[in-house]
A and B are shown apart, each in its own frame.
Chain A
């Protein structure tokens, strides 16, 4: 049974369609939600929380239809908003306890849980301070504590590491990893692709309100183009090698350090590189496989659709 199953959901803001038939499934673990600005990531999160009405479609959580669950659905979901979302003048523990109460925890249990989750996210020493005195990193962790206090099955994180320093970011990702280890499902919406690479096994790419791709990062990496750095030795400065690569349908980009950056389509491998080098009348002296980053994959997914990625 999938944790979250989204089926053909559409959201309209007046005449603008923000989500156009979004369909995907989340089996568990951490899932990255990627897309350029205006792709519909935040709208999708709000739709899953019931904060914006669905024009059509439906989704289910733990096998239960959202329409049947009603507001009770939100007892199983934790939400970390992208922007502020904290009330000045309230202490950290009071804020988290309030959120716990709103999720149905009795007052005493909410206060106890607030202390526990604040300790879990590393804010035990600052819990009695007013939230407006918190640093950006502390605020993000406080929001995470608020999302965890009622022990949800699914966490919707909207840019959780936004504005954090590297240490704070690593701590936040560590927390997210641990949350996933606890058996919770995390849907991570972010612009920071490294966070997705570090945390997620699956990605859903949204573009213009539609799912552009939704696959496991590993499968995608395997199925996509491969990148190599090659030093070719032969007569001339490599023109023959570049021409041979062109004939093979590859991209060969000469670099200042004398290496060629090769982009091979899926299915081709190192053997093909050595073969083409021989055909060009030379040999490969140095050969390095470059890991395809999620960013490159993401850009290629958008480029396939003939889109620019200025929003990134």
Chain B
């Protein structure tokens, strides 16, 4: 029997509203990563420094009043804005943050361009903005694991173990500061990765470009600083800017002395990066068309 004699039926069921069409793309971008053991292991590794924060919370709340442990516990750092800023910007987690940004972010648009599925997706009732939102949200969710999510868990532990909300009222900045840091820092990183990913057809090229810009950029800043002793070069270091941003948002002093990382300059860096990324995305998706 010829295949076309097997019948075709029309569809007359309901359709989801236009505004929700990004959701399947978001889901398809997220779920495959949870099937990758190495990636999940990486996410678990990223949470290790936060176990230190949880341990501190436990010691302060449960053993702080015990006579035998009092002396030891008082010597330990308390859980506050300063500690959260340190946890957010420790070199280990920043490194893993960049790895995840490369792993997930490099293929966001580039893979669709490589497989030529971009015009298949945009040929559906999905707008460019919805498409970019779905892709960006997928990366954003993973970057939350390095920013707001562990902070929230730490706060829940703290409040849960003390049994009162007094600590939270006193350290509310931990929450809103981290939220602000997440929105500006990792948020800009998402935009940057989207823009970078839209500029190539190969995720590998995007990953290498990110490494060149961020890792080697940091190294180059270090070398130039070592030679010239001009601290202004750190303006171009993404990891330094993220650290400065976290400290600014949480009201903690930065772990490095650099007068050039003034709040206005940090704001300028992230605003500039976000604007440049948005301009690239606008050019690729709107004015010239990424599909050519």
Contact = CB atoms under 8 A, between A and B. Distances in A.
Interface of A: 13-14, 46, 49-53, 70-75, 77, 79, 81, 83-89, 98-99, 101-107, 109, 113, 116-117, 119-122, 146, 148, 150-151, 171, 174-175, 177-179, 182
Given A49-B123, A102-B125, A104-B125, A13 B292 contact: yes
Contacts of A99: 120, 124
A105 B11 contact: yes
B18 A104 contact: yes
A89 B32 contact: yes
A51 B289 contact: yes
Contacts of A179: 8
Given A99-B124, A120-B3, A171-B4, A151 B11 contact: yes
Given A46-B291, A105-B16, A150-B11, A51 B123 contact: yes
Contacts of B127: 71
A49 B119 contact: yes
Interface in B92-130: 111, 115-117, 119-127
Given A51-B291, A102-B124, A116 B9 contact: yes
Interface in B258-292: 286, 288-289, 291-292
A115 to B, nearest CB: 12
Contacts of B13: 105-106, 109
A53 B289 contact: yes
Contacts of A113: 11
Contacts of B28: 98
Given A84-B115, A87-B115, A104 B2 contact: no
B6 interface: yes
A182 B8 contact: yes
B88 to A, nearest CB: 34
A103 B123 CA distance: 9
A182 B5 CA distance: 12
A138 to B, nearest CB: 11
B7 interface: yes
A103 B13 CA distance: 12
Nearest to A49: B123
B18 A72 contact: yes
Nearest to A69: B125
B149 interface: no
B24 interface: yes
Contacts of A150: 11
B229 interface: no
11 contacts: A74-B125, A77-B123, A88-B115, A99-B124, A104-B15, A104-B18, A106-B13, A122-B3, A122-B6, A151-B12, A178-B5
Contact of B116 (A81, A117, A178, A182): A81
A89 B123 CA distance: 21
A77 to B, nearest CB: 8
Given A102-B21, A148-B8, A72 B14 contact: no
A52 B125 CA distance: 14
4 closest A-B pairs by beta carbon, nearest first, are: A122-B3, A104-B15, A151-B11, A178-B4
Interface in B1-52: 2-18, 21, 23-25, 28, 32
Nearest to B21: A102
Contacts of A119: 6
